[in-house]
């Protein structure tokens, strides 16, 4: 070490100690750090709960709109599902997960391992608990309450995602017996459409259409008639 | 408050001194400065290639360390904590100066990797790496450069480097190994 560096090094010590003794710098109190840590943990908990709520809502929306039964129609059904998937909520989930990861990365038990692990843990916990939460009456209760009290933000939010109008997918209830390959179906919005079955309609051989039956139909509505491309029963666990 | 004789100060660990400073015995902070100023300066000079601002930055590092001393967990090692403060200060300085912003997302931090053996080389090999690193440090990518500096010049373990850089231990191994390969490649040219 040369003399110049030595002098400069001594200056660093002197400069810092002078600042301390002169009262120019003061250490933050222990309360400051406790509060900061508590705030971080509280933010993590809040983000986690919001994440859980939104994830369970995605399950609820898919179930209520009966979109999650679409894969029974094969590739066509999966295509319609992807088209109508609540991607905006998925984006919000991704952003919140990233935020959660950034905050959790302050703790060494998180950053000591690859980010992928913690993201997988977050995803697993959120999806598992979100799935179970969706099975509780939470969302149905909120939705009913929102409809009754016409709640400003909640009702449009639930309406938007839980009651979408997917193009080409029409779950509903048969309200009139089949006659000349046609029957009437009441849709989720209470509208009634005429359903026409043709040779092109994919339907199981032993399939029975009866009044009061819950059906899932893929097809286009033209001039008030739904030209059915595929029909299947709505499995249990769909729209309440 | 514990009364400590200055005559025994050299026998105290960094953590003990940090604890005393946090309890209000601010004079002891000078001991920590004495112990770390040369290391902090070396780290700054090798990381930033700037003699002129290194002293100012190191001063800021110690000021920040003093301000945050009560947040230091005395059950953990002091040096990675101080190096973390220095890392933040130096990275901020690079961000201020650099026209090219630092890359925030690093796939190596994201993915798991095979674990690299730590200190698997002997003294001679270590010295050789240090010499080569000294010669071509400015040509090495910043993310590999810092890991190499902390490993070979500052003598930090992979776990301590992970603590400083807030990345996984396996990512430290990847950076050091890729950095070493870059050095070798540079020397062959």
Number of domains chain A is built from: 2
Q: Do A27 and B66 touch (CB under 8 A)?
A: yes
Q: Which residues pair with A169 in a beta bridge?
A: A218
pLDDT over 90 at A28, yes or no: yes
CB of A15 less than 8 A from some CB of B: yes
Q: Do B166 and A28 touch (CB under 8 A)?
A: no
The whole-number pLDDT of residue A3 equals: 42
In a domain, A19, yes or no: no
Structure tokens given for B109: 């931090």
Structure tokens given for A220: 């286009």
Min Cα–Cα distance to chain B from A99, Å? 14
In a domain, A7, yes or no: no
**Residues of chain B found within 8 Å of residue A34, distances taken between Cβ atoms:** none
Q: Which residues pair with A182 in a beta bridge?
A: A179, A196
Same domain, A158 and A64: yes
The whole-number pLDDT of residue A50 equals: 96
Same domain, A156 and A201: no
Residues of chain A with pLDDT > 70, as a percent, come to 92
Domain boundary among A129, A162, A195: A162
In a domain, A5, yes or no: no
In a domain, A81, yes or no: yes
pLDDT over 50 at A6, yes or no: no
Q: What CA–CA distance (Å, rounded) separates A113 from B142?
A: 22
Three-state DSSP state, A98: helix
In this structure, the strands spanning A192-196 and A225-233 are parallel
The whole-number pLDDT of residue B5 equals: 56
Closest-CA residue of A relative to B109 is A114
Q: What CA–CA distance (Å, rounded) separates A60 from A78?
A: 18
Same domain, A68 and A136: yes
Q: How much is the mean pLDDT over chain A?
A: 87
Local confidence band at A2 (pLDDT 50, 70, 90 cut-offs): very low
Least CB–CB distance from B22: residue in A11, A26, A27? A27
Same domain, A204 and A119: no
Q: Which residue has the higher pLDDT, B64 or A108?
A: B64
Local confidence band at A237 (pLDDT 50, 70, 90 cut-offs): low
Local confidence band at A93 (pLDDT 50, 70, 90 cut-offs): very high
Q: What is the ipTM of this complex?
A: 0.81
Same domain, A55 and A110: yes
In a domain, A49, yes or no: yes
| pLDDT, tens digit, 9 for 90 and up, residues B92-108 | 888 888 755 556 567 77
Q: Which residue has the higher pLDDT, B77 or A154?
A: B77
Residue A102: domain span: 30-162
Domain boundary among A162, A184, A203: A162
Same domain, A150 and A225: no
Between the alpha carbon of residue B184 and those of residues A141, B49, B144, B155, B180, the distances in Å are 66, 21, 13, 20, 6
Under a CB-based contact definition with an 8 Å cutoff, are residues A166 and A68 in contact? no
Mean pLDDT over A25-42 rounds to 95
The whole-number pLDDT of residue B121 equals: 60
Domain boundary among A162, A177, A193: A162
What is the number of residues in chain A? Answer: 240
Three-state DSSP state, A225: strand
Closest-CA residue of A relative to B162 is A112
In a domain, A137, yes or no: yes
Three-state DSSP state, B10: helix
Same domain, A68 and A148: yes
* Closest alpha carbon to B38 in B17, B4, B62, B20: B62
Same domain, A55 and A151: yes
In a domain, A102, yes or no: yes
CB of A109 less than 8 A from some CB of B: no
Q: Residues of B near A (CB-CB distance < 8 A)?
A: 21-22, 26-27, 29-30, 33-34, 37-38, 41, 55, 58-59, 62-63, 66-71, 109-113, 159, 162-163, 166-171
Residues of chain A with pLDDT > 90, as a percent, come to 45
CATH number for the domain spanning A189: value is 2.40.50.140
Closest-CA residue of B relative to A115 is B110
Q: What CA–CA distance (Å, rounded) separates B179 from B66?
A: 33
Same domain, A73 and A102: yes
In a domain, A180, yes or no: yes
**Residues whose CB is less than 8 angstroms from the CB of residue A123 and which lie 6 or more positions away in sequence, other chains included:** A97
The whole-number pLDDT of residue B7 equals: 57
**Residues of chain B found within 8 Å of residue A32, distances taken between Cβ atoms:** 70-71
Task: Enumerate residue ranges in chain B where pLDDT < 70.
Answer: 1-8, 99-105, 115-122, 186-189
Under a CB-based contact definition with an 8 Å cutoff, are residues A217 and A228 in contact? yes
Domains of chain B, start order = 6-97 (1.10.1740.10), 107-188 (1.10.10.10)
Same domain, A92 and A200: no
Structure tokens given for B157: 């373990």
| pLDDT, tens digit, 9 for 90 and up, residues A159-218 | 888 766 677 899 999 998 888 888 999 988 888 889 999 888 998 878 888 888 889 999
Same domain, A119 and A208: no
The whole-number pLDDT of residue B48 equals: 80
| A139: Cα within 13 Å, side-chain hemisphere | 27
**Residues whose CB is less than 8 angstroms from the CB of residue A183 and which lie 6 or more positions away in sequence, other chains included:** A174, A176, A177, A194, A195, A209
Q: Which residue has the higher pLDDT, A237 or A114?
A: A114
The whole-number pLDDT of residue B135 equals: 81
Structure tokens given for B54: 């290194």
Same domain, A117 and A202: no
């Amino acid at each position: 070490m040369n003399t110049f560096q030595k002098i400069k090094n001594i200056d660093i010590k002197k400069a810092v100690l002078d600042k301390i003794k002169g009262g120019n710098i003061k250490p933050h109190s222990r309360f400051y750090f406790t509060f900061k840590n508590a705030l971080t943990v509280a933010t993590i908990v809040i983000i986690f709960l919001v994440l859980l709520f939104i994830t369970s809502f995605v399950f609820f929306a898919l179930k209520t709109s009966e979109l999650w039964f679409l894969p029974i129609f094969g590739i066509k059904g999966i295509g319609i599902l992807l088209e109508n998937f609540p991607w905006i909520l998925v984006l919000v989930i991704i952003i919140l997960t990233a935020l959660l990861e950034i905050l959790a990365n302050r703790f060494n038990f998180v950053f000591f391992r690859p980010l992928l692990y913690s993201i997988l843990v977050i995803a697993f916990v959120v999806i598992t608990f979100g799935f179970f939460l969706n099975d509780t009456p939470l969302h149905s209760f909120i939705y009913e309450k929102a409809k009754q009290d016409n709640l400003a933000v909640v009702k449009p939010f639930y309406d938007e995602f839980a009651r979408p109008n997917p193009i080409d997918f029409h779950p509903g209830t048969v309200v009139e017996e089949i006659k000349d390959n046609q029957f009437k179906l009441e849709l989720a919005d209470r509208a009634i459409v005429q359903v026409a079955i043709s040779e092109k309609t994919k339907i199981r051989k032993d399939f029975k259409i009866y009044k009061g039956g819950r059906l899932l139909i893929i097809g286009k509505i033209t001039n008030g008639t739904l030209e059915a491309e595929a029909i299947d029963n709505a499995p249990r666990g769909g729209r309440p | 408050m514990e009364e400590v004789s200055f005559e025994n100060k050299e026998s105290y660990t960094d953590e003990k001194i940090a604890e005393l400073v946090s309890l209000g015995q601010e004079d002891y902070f000078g001991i920590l400065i004495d112990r770390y100023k040369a290391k902090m300066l070396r780290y700054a000079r090798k990381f930033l290639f700037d003699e002129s601002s290194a002293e100012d930055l190191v001063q800021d590092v110690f000021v920040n360390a003093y301000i945050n001393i009560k947040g230091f967990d005395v059950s953990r090692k002091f040096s990675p904590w101080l190096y973390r403060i220095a890392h933040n200060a130096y990275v901020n300085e690079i961000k201020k100066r650099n026209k090219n912003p630092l890359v925030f997302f690093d796939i190596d931090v994201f993915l798991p990797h095979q674990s690299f053996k730590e200190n698997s080389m002997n003294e001679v090999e270590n010295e050789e790496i240090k010499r080569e690193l000294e010669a071509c440090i400015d040509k090495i990518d910043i993310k590999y450069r810092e890991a190499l500096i902390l490993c070979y010049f500052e003598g930090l373990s992979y776990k301590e480097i992970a603590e400083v850089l807030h990345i996984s231990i396996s990512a430290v191994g990847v950076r050091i190994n890729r950095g070493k390969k870059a050095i070798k490649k540079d020397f062959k040219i």
